[in-house]
Amino acid sequence: MTPENHADCANHLRHSMAKLGCEVTVSTLEPLVRNAYGPEHMTCPHGVTFWYEPTSEQIAQWARDGVR
């Protein structure tokens, strides 16, 4: 379900990724530093681009779990 209110778009993206088992940070600013996990982006129905990438805690968890 797409948020009708633009103010809910970032949280919608964050919660959608959490449902997939990935904790991410979400910003309207493109990250300055690239890492092996992204960054990825999407444009919300309101025309704003959101950049998202795994949190440091998520990356550490993947490392502990041996995820490649």
- Give pTM, 2 decimals: 0.79
**If we measure between CA atoms, which residue out of 21, 54, 22 comes closest to residue 37?**
54
Backbone angles phi, psi at 5, to 5 degrees: -95, 120
Task: State the DSSP code for 62.
Answer: H
**If we measure between CA atoms, which residue out of 49, 55, 56 comes closest to residue 10?**
49
> Would you state the pLDDT for residue 67?
84
> Would you state the pLDDT for residue 36?
81
Q: Is the pLDDT of residue 34 over 90?
A: no
Q: Is the pLDDT of residue 28 over 80?
A: yes
